[in-house]
Structures are given as structure tokens and as C-alpha cells.
């Protein structure tokens, strides 16, 4: 049976441009990450330590946030907002020193 919704990818995609409105709050183009230089990251501060029950819904809530799944900056704003912070027993509150 033929799938009328399938479109095969281009054999050579090097000339394909993805256009995303720079003002979009739902989609975001990402620049490539710099390659890892091979050393461990040390001396970073711990912003939150989750306390008690912490499921994927506490880490990254669904619902209205799902519309941002193509926008790394915006989806990051929802990260851990449902988790209880072990340092201050609050939700949606990171420890800042």
C-alpha cells in the first residue's frame, strides 16, 4: 500500500535551507556545538538537588510546554519547575549563592 504522506528525503541535502522566523517562540535553529576538548568540567555550581519523588513530569512538565519542544531556550525554562529543591523545600526555585 502506498503511503501518500511519505516524501523521500533529497539525495543531496547540502543545498536545503530550513527557514525559521527568528522571532518564533516555538522553533529555534541551533548552531553546532563546539567539539568536546576531552577534559572534565570541574568547579561548577549545583543549582538544584531534587528531593523526594522526581519523575519525568517533575523534570520537564508536558501540557502547554510541549509546544516549545523545538525551541531549546524556551523548553529549558520549564526544566525542573515541578521538582522540590532539597536546599529550600520549594518548587520552581533554584539555589543561588
pLDDT given at position 2: 77
Residue 88 maps to a domain: yes
Total domains in the fold of the chain: 1
Residue 6 maps to a domain: no
* pTM given for the model: 0.56
At 46, the pLDDT band (50, 70, 90 cuts) reads confident
pLDDT given at position 77: 83
For residue 85, give its domain range: 58-92
Residue 69 maps to a domain: yes
Residue 68 maps to a domain: yes
Residue 75 maps to a domain: yes
DSSP notation for 39-96: ----SPPP---EES---HHHHB--GGGGGGTB-HHHHHTTBTTTSEETTTS-BS----
Residue 80 maps to a domain: yes
Residue 67 maps to a domain: yes
Of the listed ranges 8-12, 40-44, 59-63, the one predicted with least confidence: 59-63
pLDDT given at position 35: 93
Amino acid at each position: 500500500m502506498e503511503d501518500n504522506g511519505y516524501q523521500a528525503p533529497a539525495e543531496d541535502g547540502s543545498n536545503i535551507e530550513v527557514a525559521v522566523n527568528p522571532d518564533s517562540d516555538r522553533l529555534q535553529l541551533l548552531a553546532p556545538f563546539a567539539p568536546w576538548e576531552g577534559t572534565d568540567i570541574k568547579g561548577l555550581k549545583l543549582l538544584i538537588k531534587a528531593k523526594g519523588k522526581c519523575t519525568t513530569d517533575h523534570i520537564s512538565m508536558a501540557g502547554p510546554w510541549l509546544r516549545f519542544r523545538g525551541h531549546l531556550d524556551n523548553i529549558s525554562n520549564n526544566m525542573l519547575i515541578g521538582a522540590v529543591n532539597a536546599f529550600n523545600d520549594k518548587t520552581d526555585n533554584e539555589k543561588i549563592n
